[in-house]
């Protein structure tokens, strides 16, 4: 845990947030500024700064994150219509919160 990390504070419930999913390893909550009708943040509880900081011991956390993504997409009803999974990496890649998280974005209107 990093003391001045916003997502650590959310994970530790120091900042109240509604979790759509929680287990021992992950939490999922809605993005405060959604870029689409469905915009979730899938967050490992462990403080990992970003993709560049992954270590061998994070292998299971990362692969499990995609299983959570699959389940959340289904729960949100976007699994068939389609969605995007996105990591922003470092400032130049659009990362603003330096606690690893996967964006799940979808729910656009069909044409
Ligand atoms: P990044 O740019 O780091 O990949 O994504 C950070 C995301 O966190 C942004 O989409 C931003 O809207 C969201 N965010 C920032 N602060 C908060 C907050 O306090 N609560 C929630 N739910 N989302 C936040
Ligand atoms: Zn953190």
Q: Identify the CATH number of the domain defined by range 6-106.
A: 3.30.428.10
Cβ neighbors of 47 (< 8 A, separation 6 or more) are 1, 2, 5, 7, 8, 99
Phi and psi for 93 in degrees, rounded to 5?
-95, 10
Kindly indicate the confidence band of residue 2, based on its pLDDT and cuts at 50, 70 and 90: confident
Compute CA distances 18 → 11, 22, 55, 93, 103, whole Å.
11, 10, 29, 27, 16
Rounded CA-CA distance 110/99 in Å is 33
CA 83, 61, 28, 23: dihedral to nearest 10 degrees?
130
pLDDT score recorded for residue 80: 96
pLDDT of residue 3 exceeding 90 = no
Atom 17 (ligand 1) nearest CA: 32
pLDDT score recorded for residue 111: 60
The reply to whether 103 belongs to the active site is: no
Return the domain boundaries, the chain.
6-106
Q: Which of 39, 99, 101, 103 is catalytic?
A: 101
Q: Which atom of ligand 1 is nearest to the CA of 35?
A: 10
pLDDT score recorded for residue 46: 98
How many angstroms is it from 33 CA to the middle of ligand 1? 7
Query: pLDDT tens digits for 44-99?
Result: 999 999 999 999 999 999 999 999 999 999 999 999 999 999 999 999 999 999 99
């Amino acid at each position: 845990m990093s003391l001045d990390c916003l997502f650590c504070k959310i994970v530790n419930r120091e900042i109240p947030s509604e979790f759509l999913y929680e287990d021992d390893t992950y939490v999922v909550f809605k993005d405060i500024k959604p870029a689409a009708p469905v915009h979730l943040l899938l967050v490992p509880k462990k403080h990992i700064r970003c993709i560049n900081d992954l270590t061998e011991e994070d292998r299971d956390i990362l692969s499990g994150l995609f299983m959570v993504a699959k389940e959340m997409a289904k729960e949100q009803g976007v699994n068939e219509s389609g969605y995007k999974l996105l990591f922003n990496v470092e400032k130049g890649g659009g990362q603003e919160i330096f606690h690893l998280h996967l964006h799940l974005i979808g729910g656009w209107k069909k044409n």
